[in-house]
């Protein structure tokens, strides 16, 4: 498998670029399939269904939509009906929809998990209470106090879904898009027999970004990337034998010194600074990444130096915008149903449809997925990261499902940062499994943002204040 990863790295990123259009893998799908979308009101659902409809040679089957918000469920069913009607072969697909997943799980081949427990009801708590303790978050949904409490709200429902799946569709492959990715995958591995892979788009997006910054064609770029979700490292980056890092580091120094002529280059400073000091570029945006680190958000002068608008590090970016984004998504669906907005997109780089196609056609294809470091037992996929943790690595997909590739050791400074975050995820996932407030406190004691500005006593007080504020969404925690 290590040799397969080497060859895959040399092959570049074929199949996941934005201009993939209707292209696909060779062969035909020889059976109808059933795909269940959990949290079907999510923004992922229409794009993933559009992607599946564009798989060449697919025979159709069932799209089963599940959402406890019946208004969003009804709207999404209408959008999917329009998608079906607008594409060749759409009439080969049947739609089922229910607020009760047990009505549609039976016979599922794939589960796409996009649930959002509590909706937007807790976003202000997740941001404002930590802010009162001096903890500044940009995104706050995968790590930090906001990320931990999203896990504590989400994982109990997630594990109930997996228990139902074990009973009703034990052979299904579970594709998880819900954050916090690491903790959800970790909790699943500890409690469920279902096969789960966590899917993000940061590897696809960053590989394209690096090719653009280096001025080379993406399909000609050779790269190897591994680590954990939102903190995976491009340890190899070459074009026709040339190491691209000297070129990228020269540009980064210029950008950090404020000497760039391109306004776009003035952004994404946290990732550029980390590349200069740690030796490799990281997969997630500067805003997300800054929350995995103790360096950039603990003082106002550091935020002014390194953090920029939006995903580049803006304080409270998700908390301030997520409710309106959700309302905007609902308005767009109303416009689609009213014929005021077009429905249908080119095939995207989201992994779900490519996994389904590769598995159904038995045509090997590479993705980067979130899996257990000792998936299936044996040696760790990344030898110098915790064996019982969740890592993001290259995976081969074919009829046998998701087959992670063993990686080289990460350089020690990179492994140490991943390891420190994995310790938080370990305790956070277990806190949700056991519904333990004590383990939640211990998890946040290890959080890089919280530890950078708060004492242990302050972290404990903040955690208990969050539990009190969100008690209605955290039943059973002791």
Beta strands in 212-300 (DSSP E): 221-228, 231-239, 242-243, 281-282
Q: In terms of residues, how long is the chain?
A: 478
Q: Is the peptide bond before 180 cis (omega within 30 degrees of 0)?
A: yes
Residue pair 360/198 in contact (Cβ under 8 Å)? The answer is no
* 81: helix, strand or coil: helix
Looking at 245, 292, 311, 477, which residue is catalytic? 292
- Which helix H or strand E contains 142, and what residues bound it? none
Looking at 74, 133, 201, 295, which residue is catalytic? 201
Structure token digits, residue 195: 């096969």
Residue pair 141/147 in contact (Cβ under 8 Å)? The answer is yes
Phi/psi of residue 468, nearest 5 degrees = -65, -45
Choose among 142, 202, 454: nearest CA to 441. Answer: 454
Active site residue 201: yes
DSSP calls for 339-381: TSS-------S-HHHHHHHHHHHT--EEEEEEEETTTTSSS-S
Structure token digits, residue 33: 């399939």
> How far from 381 is each of 163, 370, 405, CA to CA, in Å?
27, 11, 7
Active site residue 292: yes
Residues serving a catalytic function are 201, 292
């Amino acid at each position: 498998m290590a040799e397969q990863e080497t060859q895959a790295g040399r092959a570049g990123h074929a199949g996941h670029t934005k201009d993939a259009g209707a292209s696909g893998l060779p062969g035909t799908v020889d059976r109808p399939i059933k795909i269940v979308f959990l949290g079907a009101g999510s923004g992922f659902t229409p794009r993933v269904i559009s992607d599946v409809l564009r798989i060449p040679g697919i025979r159709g089957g069932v799209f089963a939509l599940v959402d406890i918000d019946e208004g969003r469920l009804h709207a999404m069913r209408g959008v999917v009906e329009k998608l079906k009607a607008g594409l060749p072969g759409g009439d080969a697909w049947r739609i089922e929809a229910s607020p009760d997943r047990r009505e549609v799980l039976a016979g599922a081949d794939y589960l796409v998990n996009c649930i959002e427990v509590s909706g937007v009801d807790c976003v202000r708590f997740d941001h404002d209470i930590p802010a009162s303790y001096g903890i500044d978050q940009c995104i706050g949904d995968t790590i930090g106090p906001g990320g931990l409490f999203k896990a504590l709200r989400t994982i109990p429902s997630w594990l109930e879904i997996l228990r139902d799946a074990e009973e009703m569709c034990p052979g299904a492959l579970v594709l998880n898009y819900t954050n916090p990715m690491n903790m959800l995958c970790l909790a699943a591995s500890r409690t469920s027999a279902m096969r789960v892979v966590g899917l993000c788009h940061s590897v696809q997006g960053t590989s394209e970004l690096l090719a653009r910054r280096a001025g080379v064609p993406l399909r000609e770029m050779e790269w190897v990337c591994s680590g954990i979700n939102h903190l995976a490292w491009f340890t190899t980056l070459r074009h026709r034998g040339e190491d691209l890092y000297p070129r990228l580091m020269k540009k980064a120094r210029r950008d950090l010194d404020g000497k760039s002529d391109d306004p776009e280059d003035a952004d994404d400073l946290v990732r550029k600074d980390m590349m200069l000091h740690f030796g490799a570029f990281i997969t997630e945006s500067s805003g997300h990444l800054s929350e995995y680190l103790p360096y950039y958000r603990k003082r106002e002068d550091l935020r002014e130096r390194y953090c920029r608008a939006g995903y580049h590090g803006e304080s409270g970016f998700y908390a301030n915008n997520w409710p309106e984004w959700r309302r905007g998504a609902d308005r767009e669906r109303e416009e689609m149903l009213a014929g005021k907005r077009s429905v249908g997109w080119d095939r995207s780089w989201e992994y779900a449809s490519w996994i389904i196609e590769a598995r159904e056609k038995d045509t090997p294809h590479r993705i980067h997925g979130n899996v257990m470091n000792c998936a299936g037992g044996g040696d760790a996929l990344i030898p110098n990261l915790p064996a019982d943790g969740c890592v993001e690595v290259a995976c081969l997909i074919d009829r046998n499902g998701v087959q992670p590739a063993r990686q080289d050791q990460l350089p020690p400074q990179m492994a140490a940062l991943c390891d420190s975050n994995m310790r938080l995820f370990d305790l956070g996932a277990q806190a949700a499994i056991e519904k333990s407030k004590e383990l939640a406190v211990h998890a946040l004691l290890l959080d890089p943002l919280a530890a950078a500005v708060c004492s242990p006593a302050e972290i404990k007080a903040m955690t208990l204040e969050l539990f009190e504020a969100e008690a209605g969404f955290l039943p059973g925690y002791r």
